[in-house]
Structure 1
């Protein structure tokens, strides 16, 4: 019987159940179940289909339960940050989690800034201003959502919410909470000053638990439905990037990580938060790490653009996949580049046309082929990585020689080459399933 741990790793486009099989000092990964994670738009609001996600996760557990060659030690869940849902006094979820790309929170930014400035918020949390920050979601909910005003009692981030469905336990894991804009980066506790200033209640939040904490076991109902026993559930580094960095096995503070998924995140693990105004203005954010340190990073709207480009091309019945786009980009030779950080690329109706229009506005050219359009994205990513590396070197006053590149983007050899060429740094390719690997490593350590 192989001893195994179960990692649920949910990203913005898909989720998966991956087994971590302990083989001596190594951990082998086996994907058991994969499922799509498609947002659903209802009356103009973009939601996460949390009932479907929970259903698919249980289908994965049913597959595992039928296995006779494994002995399950624990399970853990990691997801994207900032989003979540409300629980009422009876323990029921009262709203579908709303997608971070939904536009509703834009209307409250100025309202929040009228009582607490961005520089003040950053000096406490180290989190960059973004419409999707949990802080703005909670402010919107408690001011404009009458159902939540009346019934909302507890806020659970996405992995906490799923953990609650599986265990019946209420908690907030530390790394996922650190993405919210509500946590004091120095004390690593929820900021009383922010809660008091914005009229929030500390009662909304649950106990902050560290990565590696056993939060409960599968409920009797889930046990009966899946055919499993009382499997321990571990709160891992529940933010997928925190788990990915744990999976990248960073050893030194001057080694950069580049996590490539729907978002691309580049950063360092440092001992203390960097909260100075010049750091804020440079676009850095401070989030928690599995080690209890700070992940100083930049959040880049990266492979989302390529994902949406592929969708547009297939909507035109071109029947292309990523290898086709990559080969077309390698054959193109122009130097035009889009600004990856431009808000226009967050959620356009047609990503292909948005890229073409941006290049026309900036360079006076009209891109006509798939390769030309894709190359504008790759060049934009390369420019941004180059500039970000330079900023990190200025910040730490030390030359960076190595970039640990992990996540799905490592499958794209062209992207890896662009990173190496544009930054001039050694690129070490890690596992494509870095979040799952970090998730599993934390479970193994917790159960050892």
Structure 2
């Protein structure tokens, strides 16, 4: 079998990587070519992404692949986080740095829009979980404030689409990333025009929506010259990182739930159609686009963000490794303190440990006084949130859930994986950790004809990566803890 090489650019909210995937004999091997930091830029009271710096890092990754490794990739593809977007002016130039989703300017935008369009109408026509930073609310905040950037905006492109554009000069919108915007018809490559019109958003700024795995063009001559690459195809992979990650779940069939575990924990099921009802509105679940027409019915849960921010807050006092934080958590009693990980106070508090302490005090649990107690609080709370989410999914879907696949960086956290198995009573299968880059690469392989279906992609994953199984243990009183947790979130 011919050996193929595909270069994935996988960008998260804190770092980015260029990962080379080499496909041969139904197995894939990954090579990290380039890694770089990504941080929100705080300028004049607002948070932005430096899209120009990110593009330079991607070009560096391509250059290293071609010149340092001596490997010419067959194609390239980009995935990123959701909702954020770039403004292009009429000359096709990026008109400003894109806002970051944690920026505070959208704090009231949901309630403001619901004065014009009812919450029920927005949900039933889009099927997307309400979060203040969804693209719909970001754009509406600009409309409401009469932001001057809209006067010069000819097109908007979501972050992976914008980077594809910088590589190729082709402006297209990929389906999975568009679905995070709360602006498309659920399960279809169509903009939800009635909602967009009522919000006052100019429809002319939207571009054609294409399926994941679409070849949209080739890298431009100047990029090829700068990097030493051939003019390779640019593939619109599943541009939303979670969609690429779910494409790499090493599952057979559909009788499972997944947790894409990283800064966010995206927990849900893969469905043949959107699940939209008054009940899913009440529970605030999302229906995002997947591969081959599937829907990712899921909940966005604030995941390792809480641990990451605690670590950052303590770094002057003690620069913990991730494993040291886990070991600390094991030294204290479980369930002494619990939080709702999705409480608004944890979105971007500045000082996460303080926010956790304040939540515990406000809910009459007392005051966690050590780093160990705070860390254990977060891990216990995440496991219980996964149980709570699983129970909710079962109320609206008849799809059997026999196991949980945990993918992404969080799959390395054996402690949390075991807690999740214990809390839910289900086997947890952890791996691959590089699911997002793997899904990105396999979608490129499909677009280039080296693979032919999602099932074949997942077979390659099973052939290529170790999966560790965590079996439920019954040593702790999870049922009592769960009742206490439910009282905190309802």
CA distance 1:26–1:40, shift in 2 (3 Å): same
Separation in 1, partners of 2:424, 2:138: 36
Superposed, which structure 2 residues align to 1:297-316 within 5 Å? 297-315=298-316
CA distance in 2, matches of 1:247, 1:397: 24
Aligned residues: 447
Match of 1:318 in 2: 318
CA contact (8 A) 2:187 2:295 kept: no
CA distance in 1, matches of 2:334, 2:7: 45
1:34 corresponding residue in structure 2: 35
1:347 equivalent to 2:348? Answer yes
Specify whether residues 145 and 221 from structure 1 end up closer, same or farther in structure 2 by C-alpha distance, changes over 3 A only. Answer: farther
Determine the C-alpha separation between the residues in 2 that align with 1:60 and 1:222.
12
DSSP-derived class of the 1:70 partner: coil
1:407/1:397 CA distance change after superposition, 3 Å: same
What SS class does the counterpart of residue 72 from structure 1 fall into?
Answer: coil
CA distance in 2, matches of 1:111, 1:32: 45
The 1:245/1:67 distance shift into structure 2, 3 A limit, reads: same
Judge conservation of contact 1:340–1:377 (CA < 8 Å) in 2. Answer: yes
- Other-structure match for 1:370: 371
Q: Write the distance in 2 (CA, Å) between the matches of 1:185 and 1:84.
A: 20
Q: The residue matched to 1:99 in structure 2 has which SS? A: coil
Conserved in 2, the CA contact under 8 Å of 1:142 and 1:148? no
What is the aligned-residue RMSD (CA, Å)? Answer: 1.5
TM-score, length basis structure 1: 0.97
For residues 2 and 253 of structure 1, the distance between their equivalents in structure 2, rounded to whole angstroms, comes to 30
Q: 2:229 aligns to what SS in structure 1?
A: coil
Q: State whether residues 187 and 293 of structure 2, in contact with CA within 8 Å, keep that contact through their aligned partners in structure 1.
A: no
SS at structure 1 position matched to 2:363 = helix
Aligned to 2:327: 327
Partner in structure 2 of residue 420 of structure 1: 421
Residue aligning to 1:229: 230
Looking at structure 1, the residues matched to 368 and 196 of structure 2 have their Cα atoms a distance apart, in angstroms, of 49
**1:72 equivalent in alignment to 2:101:** no
Cα 1:321–1:98, aligned 2, differ >3 Å: closer, same or farther? same
Corresponding residue for 1:53?
54
Moved more, 191-200 or 406-415: 191-200
**Quick check: 29-38 or 199-208, which moved more?**
199-208
Distance 1:186 1:439 in 2: 20
Per-residue Cα deviation, 1:17-49 (whole angstroms, up to 9, x for no partner):
000011211011111111111111111100112
Partner of 2:165: helix, strand, or coil? helix
Q: Which string of whole-angstrom CA distances, capped at 9 and with x for unpartnered residues, describes residues 176-211 of structure 1? A: 000101001054410121122222232111111111
Aligned to 1:153: 154
What are the superposed Cα offsets for residues 35-93 of structure 1, whole Å, 9 maximum, x if unpaired?
11111111110011211111111111111121465341101000000001110100011
Compared CA separation, residues 235 and 88, structure 1 to 2 (3 A): same
* Contact 1:3–1:70 under 8 Å retained in 2: no
Larger displacement relative to structure 2 (379-388 or 364-373): 364-373
In the alignment, the residues of structure 2 paired with residue 49 and residue 408 of structure 1 have an alpha-carbon distance, to the nearest angstrom, of 24
For 1:364 and 1:76, the matched residues in 2 are separated by 47
* Matched residue, 2:458: none
| 199-208 or 376-385, which deviates more | 199-208
Residue 395 to residue 211, structure 1, CA distance change in 2 (3 Å) = same
- Partner SS, residue 33 of structure 1: strand
Q: 1:43 maps to which residue?
A: 44
Map residues 25-424 of structure 1 onto 2, 5 A cutoff.
Answer: 25-67=26-68, 69-315=70-316, 317-335=317-335, 336-397=337-398, 399-424=400-425
Match of 1:12 in 2: 13
Instruction: Identify if the C-alpha distance between structure 1 residues 150 and 396 changes in structure 2 by more than 3 Å, giving closer, same or farther.
Output: closer
Give 5+ residue unaligned stretches, structure 2. 450-490
Higher mean displacement: 200-209 or 116-125 = 200-209
1:58–1:226: 8 Å Cα contact kept in structure 2?
A: yes
Q: For residues 128-156 of structure 1, what are the alpha-carbon distances to aligned partners after superposition, in whole Å with 9 as ceiling and x for unaligned?
A: 21110101111122342543232111010
Conserved? CA contact 1:2–1:71, under 8 Å: no
Moved over 3 A (4+): none
Q: Deviations over 1:381-428 (max 9, x none)?
A: 011111111112222235422101100001111011111010111111
- In structure 1, runs of 5+ residues without a counterpart are none
SS in structure 1 opposite 2:293?
coil
In 2: Cα distance, 1:68 partner to 1:259 partner = 30
- 2:291 alignment partner, SS class: coil
Preserved CA contact (<8 Å) 1:2 1:70: no
Q: Deviations over 1:307-349 (max 9, x none)?
A: 001101103x212111110100012113121111111111112
Question: Per the alignment, in what secondary structure is the counterpart of residue 170 of structure 2?
Answer: coil
User: Contact 2:65 / 2:72 at 8 angstroms: preserved in 1?
Assistant: no
